[in-house]
């Protein structure tokens, strides 16, 4: 089978399994493209189960690829669980399957796949973001746009989980917003058109980032070429973070290879803040219980002193509980009266 003229790269998360079934069911068997799919699932998920499920609904061969496998047209490749799937150009375009650092806390990650495809195939790359939660795929669509490719998102109005399509639309000038049942016809039209001329120059920062992913583990020298150091730490490894210099989607990387959009990093910091506050609330409750016991056992003067401390900590507990129950939004929390 011939090498593909186009690469179609697809990212899906929550609600993705039924969406992918509908997506592949309408694809023509002779499409002159390879279809590379990232679906977020647990690291111990049986990827072959999804491959078999998709194969029942399409005439396209569906595979869990091996590292180094040549790319073939009219074939669907699903990223294996807990492995990044990358496209690589060369005399024979092929796939890389790696256990590199997570991006946006995901492995496999749509952003990782989309970037590699954009660098390998340039304007002959088509990126598709389907249903899902949070932010994976947004930066990836911008990578594809910067290399001259085509970007598509599922209509958020029909997506089971619209967060991924909506975030992409908010941050990227997406070419097409279509429901699932219209996507196959659009992809057939795009891929049967004459291939666009190659991009005169793939952006160097994207080549650098693609090279980091291919090497599996990055280094400080590599990340310093494309980003500048900022006073933030990587939530996955605790190392320093660099802010990426190029692109409209604000992104961060650490030197080992973890990468985040600003939205993903903000969401992560919110989760960690909430966890820390719940621990603080538990410790304050324990201190309150201890002070209550001390106040009932001591002399009158000693009890009065503990009661004063008890009153103060009860105020702190009430304020913190209100803060947490309001979703950690300080603007919704009234300040307790003194």
Asked whether 99 and 83 are in contact (CB, 8 A), the reply is: yes
Asked whether 151 and 248 are in contact (CB, 8 A), the reply is: no
Catalytic status, residue 40: yes
Per DSSP, the residues of 252-269 read EEETTS-EEEHHHHHHHH
How far apart are alpha carbons 125 and 116 in whole angstroms? 10
| DSSP letter, residue 227 | E
Question: What tokens does 119 get?
Answer: 């660098």
Catalytic status, residue 338: no
70, β-bridge pairs: 94
- Our measurement of the distance from residue 241's CA atom to the centroid of its chain's CA atoms, rounded to an integer in Å, reads 17
Unique residue bearing structure tokens 């990340």: 223
Asked whether 119 and 210 are in contact (CB, 8 A), the reply is: yes
How far apart are alpha carbons 233 and 248 in whole angstroms? 22
Cis ω for the linkage preceding 203 (within 30 of 0): no
Catalytic status, residue 91: no
* Number of residues in the chain: 338
Catalytic residue from among 116, 136, 222, 264: 136
Catalytic residue from among 40, 94, 105, 255: 40
How far apart are alpha carbons 132 and 159 in whole angstroms? 8
Catalytic residue from among 13, 116, 222, 264: 13
How far apart are alpha carbons 79 and 51 in whole angstroms? 10
Q: Which 3 state secondary structure label does DSSP give 237?
A: coil
Tell me the catalytic residues.
Answer: 13, 40, 136
């Amino acid at each position: 089978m011939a090498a593909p003229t186009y690469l179609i790269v697809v990212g899906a998360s929550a609600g993705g399994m039924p969406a992918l079934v509908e997506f592949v069911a309408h694809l023509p068997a002779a499409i002159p493209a390879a279809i590379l799919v990232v679906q977020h699932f647990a690291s111990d998920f049986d990827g072959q189960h999804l491959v078999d499920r998709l194969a029942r609904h399409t005439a396209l061969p569906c595979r869990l690829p091996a590292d180094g496998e040549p790319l073939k047209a009219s074939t669907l490749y699903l990223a294996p669980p807990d492995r990044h799937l990358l496209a690589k150009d060369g005399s024979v375009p092929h796939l890389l399957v790696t256990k590199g650092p997570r991006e946006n806390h995901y492995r496999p990650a749509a952003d990782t796949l989309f970037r590699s495809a954009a660098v390998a195939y340039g304007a002959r790359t088509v990126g598709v973001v389907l249903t899902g939660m949070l932010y994976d795929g947004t930066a990836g669509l911008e990578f594809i746009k910067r290399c001259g490719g085509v970007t598509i998102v599922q209509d958020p109005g029909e997506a089971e989980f619209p967060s991924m399509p909506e975030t992409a639309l908010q941050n990227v000038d997406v070419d097409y917003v279509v429901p699932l049942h219209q996507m196959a016809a659009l992809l057939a039209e795009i891929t049967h058109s004459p291939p666009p001329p190659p991009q005169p120059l793939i952006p160097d920062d994207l080549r650098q980032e693609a090279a980091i992913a291919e090497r599996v583990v990055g280094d400080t020298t590599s990340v310093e070429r494309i980003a500048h150091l900022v006073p933030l730490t990587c939530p996955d490894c605790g190392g320093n973070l660099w802010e990426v210099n190029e692109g409209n989607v604000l992104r961060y990387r650490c030197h080992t290879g973890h990468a985040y959009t600003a939205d993903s990093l903000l969401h992560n910091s919110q989760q960690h803040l909430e966890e820390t506050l719940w621990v603080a609330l538990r410790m304050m409750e324990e201190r309150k219980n201890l002070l209550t016991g001390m106040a009932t056992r001591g002399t009158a003067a000693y009890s009065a002193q503990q009661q004063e401390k008890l009153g103060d900590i009860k105020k702190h507990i009430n304020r913190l509980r209100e803060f947490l129950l309001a979703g950690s939004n300080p603007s919704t929390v009234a300040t307790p009266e003194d």
